[in-house]
């Protein structure tokens, strides 16, 4: 006997993501799911943002890694709230899911946080599938990865609300063509903005900071 | 390897449904799922993961049947529809006919359980 279900496989995750979204909204927290390959500079972008904004807004961070707390220690040195999630304890998962974020959020002082960064596990495939309850999905790419990545890993680039291209300081040392990268992105996500930055030199970071502030304000007004 | 998480989620949904429908999990012989090409889920890995963990969940007799759904788009400008061919590796969100970026996705993001099948006794 066949019984029709038509139930979403990730329904449980999506329901928890909805709870997270409501919790963040209630507490007035603007949340960013930061995704990108290992070594693209996710932690560096957060560090740079904290340095530039810590006197203006309060930032919290959830860091996802398979193992260790190197990134969390880096971020904690700025005296901001940070929680490390290690997925090695739960099967070594290559992405964060809504339940991990829910657990991690419970140990953060959410009422005191304006912007919460969720630094996903470094991966260009799996994080795309799991809603966390975030306001915006930001994908961080970097010059040494090559300009063909949007075509090789289209799903992540397709769901991005913003794409940040890091390590522009290495542009002369790599075969990377910005025009080709942008053309590849346009094929899969025609309307998305691309910011060119270097977390090392600070190039282009102001554009990212302005975007962040603007979207934080929008979310306060309930537009985002 | 998000296939393991997805296999766990499938098993969670199926065991919950068993309770609702008052079916014993071991009676389930087939779980049919639809997976869109955009989800980047590998069918082979998913079946492998499902078969490893199904015994723990008391679903020893269940096999996973996967229906793969191609990516198709509709252009809001020229009103044409286009389905990506099996071997078409480059995903493109521009209309192949008129080049417009004003398109909507018709299919390709599916990730749902279509049905469960119990043995004939029922």
pLDDT higher than 60, residue A188: yes
CA B73 to chain centre: 18
Per residue in A21-36, pLDDT (tens digit) is 999 999 999 999 999 9
List of long-range contacts for A89-92, beta carbons under 8 Å, 24+ apart: A91/B4, A91/B5, A92/A66, A92/B1
Q: Mutate which of B3, B7, B9, B82 to test chain A, going by most A C-beta atoms within 10 A? A: B9
- Residues of chain A in contact with residue B17, where contact means CB-CB under 8 angstroms, are 3, 5, 7
ipTM rounded to 2 decimals = 0.82
What is the rounded distance in angstroms from the CA atom of residue A157 to the CA atom of residue A203?
22
Closest residue to B2, CB basis, from A1, A12, A126: A126
**Which residues, at least 6 apart from A63, have a Cβ–Cβ distance to it below 8 Å?**
A43, A69, A71, A72, A75, A82, A83, A84, A85, A119
**Inter-chain CB proximity A11 and B39 less than 8 Å:** no
At A213 the three-state DSSP class reads helix
Q: Do B12 and A12 touch (CB under 8 A)?
A: yes
Measure CB to CB from residue B13 to each of A11, A92, A126 and give the nearest one: A11
pTM of the model: 0.88
Chain B residues with at least one Cβ partner in A under 8 Å: 1-2, 4-6, 9-10, 12-13, 17, 21, 30, 32-33, 38-41, 90-94, 101, 111-118, 120, 122
SS3 state of residue A45? helix
Note the pLDDT of residue A137.
Answer: 98
On the question of pLDDT at A223 being above 80, the answer is: no
| Closest Cα in chain A, distance from residue B96 (Å) | 11
The nearest alpha carbon in chain A to B37 belongs to: A155
**Which positions in chain B touch A6 (Cβ < 8 Å)?**
112-115
Whether A94 sits inside 8 A of B115 (CB atoms) is no
Whether residues A94 and B1 touch (CB distance < 8 A) is answered with: yes
A115 DSSP assignment: E
Cβ distance A158 to B6 less than 8 Å, yes or no, reads: no
Going by C-beta distance under 8 Å and a sequence separation of 6 or more, which residues neighbour residue A221? none
User: What would the mean pLDDT of B75-80 be, rounded to a whole number?
Assistant: 93
pLDDT band (50, 70, 90) for residue B122: very low
What are the residues of chain A with a beta carbon less than 8 Å away from any beta carbon of chain B?
1-13, 91-95, 97, 125-126, 128-130, 151, 154-155, 158, 186-191
The alpha-carbon gap from B84 to the nearest alpha carbon of chain A, in Å, equals 13
Give CA–CA dist A192/A190, Å, rounded. 6
pLDDT digits (tens, 9 = 90+) for A115-153: 999 999 999 988 988 999 999 999 999 999 999 999 888
CB atoms within 10 A of CB A132: 28
pLDDT for res A125: 86
Between chain A and chain B, the number of residue pairs with CB atoms below 8 A apart is 103
Mean pLDDT, range B61-66, rounded to an integer:
96
């Amino acid at each position: 006997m066949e019984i029709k279900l038509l139930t979403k496989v990730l329904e449980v995750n999506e329901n928890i993501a909805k709870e997270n979204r409501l919790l963040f909204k209630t507490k007035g927290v603007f949340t960013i799911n930061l995704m990108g390959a290992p070594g693209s500079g996710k932690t560096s972008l957060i560090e740079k943002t904290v340095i530039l904004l810590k006197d203006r807004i309060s930032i919290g961070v959830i860091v996802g890694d398979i193992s260790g707390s190197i990134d969390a220690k880096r971020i904690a040195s700025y005296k901001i709230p940070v929680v490390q999630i290690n997925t090695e304890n739960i099967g070594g998962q290559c992405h964060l899911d809504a339940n991990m974020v829910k657990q991690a959020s419970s140990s953060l002082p959410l009422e005191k946080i304006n912007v919460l960064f969720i630094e996903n596990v470094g991966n260009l495939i799996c994080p795309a599938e799991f809603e966390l309850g975030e306001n915006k999905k930001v994908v961080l790419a970097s010059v040494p990865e090559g300009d063909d990545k949007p075509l090789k890993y289209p799903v992540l680039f397709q769901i991005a609300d913003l794409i940040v291209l890091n390590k522009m300081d290495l542009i002369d040392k790599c075969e990377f063509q910005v025009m080709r990268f942008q053309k590849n992105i346009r094929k899969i996500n025609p309307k998305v903005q691309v910011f060119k930055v270097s977390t090392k030199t600070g190039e282009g970071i102001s554009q990212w900071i302005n975007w962040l502030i603007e979207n934080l304000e929008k979310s306060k007004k309930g537009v985002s | 390897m998000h296939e393991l998480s997805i296999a766990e989620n499938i098993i969670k949904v199926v065991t919950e449904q068993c309770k609702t429908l008052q079916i014993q999990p071991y009676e389930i012989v087939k779980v049919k799922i639809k997976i869109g090409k955009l989800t980047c889920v590998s069918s082979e890995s998913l079946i492998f993961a499902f078969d490893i963990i199904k015994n723990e969940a008391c679903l020893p007799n269940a096999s996973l049947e996967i229906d793969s759904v191609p990516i198709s788009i509709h252009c809001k400008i020229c009103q044409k529809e286009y389905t990506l061919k099996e071997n078409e590796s480059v995903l493109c969100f521009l209309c192949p006919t008129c080049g417009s970026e004003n398109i909507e996705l018709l299919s390709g993001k599916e990730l749902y359980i279509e049905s469960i099948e119990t043995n004939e006794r029922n």
